[in-house]
Amino acid sequence: MRSLSALTIGVIVVGTASAFAPSVAFSRTKHNGGQSQTTSLNAIGVLARKAKEMDVRKYCEGGVEESVLAKVEELKSKLGAVDLMAVEGPGPLQTALTKRKGTIAVVAEYKRRLADSGFIDEVFDPEQMSPSFREFGASAVAVMADERMGGCSYDDLSEFVKEQESARGDMPGPLHVICSDLMVDEVQIARSAANDASAVLLNMGALGGMDRTEPLMKAAAALGMESIVTVSTPEEAQAAVQAGARILLVSNIGDPDEKRAIVDGLPDNVCTIASISMRSDNELEEIEEAWILRDKGFNAVWVADALYKFGADANEHPGAIIKSMGAKSSVKWATPKAQSGKGEGSREYLGDIMM
């Protein structure tokens, strides 16, 4: 391994000049979302970004793997030819997340550390969780490769990729694996590609706008990966699409109607994902929210902490929750008819999903 900061390769090292301007310049683009909640969340995002910038600096100075350096060189050679607006048709991940109308795809996010869950103390290792996500119907897996926020590393990302690849030729086959580290730097994009991620997650709010988000989108495309752009306002969604984003994740919004309003009017070739936050109760209302979001036209849901609310009961392990979210049921029957065992979809809701 070599210290990246000691090399004159032009890749960003936080706080230095870069060949990938304007992202390295970190221009202070003001976000004009117009919502006090979003403004507050973006302020938190700035703090998280600064902490991540320091992490990236330490990683670069501590020695970068040769496989990552190779991806950096590949990125440098291909970046100039990237035209996000010239991309024709959906990529493999977008195709996997865009199912027929009336269905919902599930992106299952793996974390070792949960945010104030109060439900379980430990999440199983990748070699146990990865096949479960696949076998119970997830359309993709995300790995929060941020040790501070999710307790995971890029080693976990690599383990998921390897386990999924072991299912090639099987039914169901391997899932796409997304790196959901807090991306602030092209070297993280190179690191994701070196670990064979299919896509990266880019948080526009934390990055401060498209001035920083678009260069990372181009870097991902140069290395053959798709980008998922996290948005919290209609303005962010429109800006992302105008820059060439084709997969959007609506996050930091609680109400399903408000989530839908973020993506109303977008072109049909844009895949929309809604993030489902974990409730601080013992119910599984997150499953019903997935059905609501499906009926409102979202292509997929992104589920993280809610997958691990219980963990022990056979009907409430992550795989069962994933399969429930993808079931044909609806809120018309889920409460209370589904709980009584009567009505369309009640079998999926009650746990016969295990069969």
Tokens standing for residue 33 = 């979302």
304-315: average pLDDT: 70
* Per-residue pLDDT tens over the stretch 116-167: 654 455 678 899 999 999 999 999 999 999 988 888 999 999 999 999 999 9
| pLDDT score, position 15 | 35
Confidence of residue 11 (pLDDT cuts 50, 70, 90): very low
Selection from 91, 31, 89, 51 nearest residue 213 by Cα: 31
Q: What is the pTM assigned to this prediction?
A: 0.83
Q: Strand pairing partners for 301?
A: 106, 274
The dihedral through the CA atoms of 85, 87, 91, 97 has a sign that is positive
Selection from 325, 302, 321 nearest residue 312 by Cα: 321
Residue 48: Cβ within 10 Å count: 16
Does 35 or 154 have the greater pLDDT score?
154
Across residues 228-244, what is the average pLDDT? 97
Q: Rounded mean pLDDT of the chain?
A: 82
- If pLDDT is split at 50, 70 and 90, which confidence band does 21 have? very low
Q: Residue 116 has what pLDDT?
A: 60
Give percent of the chain above pLDDT 90.
Answer: 63
pLDDT at residue 279, rounded to an integer: 84
Residue 58 near residue 222 (C-beta atoms within 8 A): no
**d(C-alpha 189, C-alpha 8), whole Å:** 19
- Nearest CA to 32 out of 229, 183, 233 is that of 233
CA atoms within a 13 Å half-sphere pointing along the CA-CB vector of 255: 4
| C-alpha to C-alpha distance for 205 and 184, rounded to whole angstroms | 12
Banded pLDDT at 3 (limits 50, 70, 90): low
Helix (H) or strand (E) holding 143: strand 140-143
- Please give the single-letter amino acid code of residue 201: L
pLDDT tens per residue, range 166-183: 999 999 999 999 999 999
Quick one: tokens of 343?
């009505």
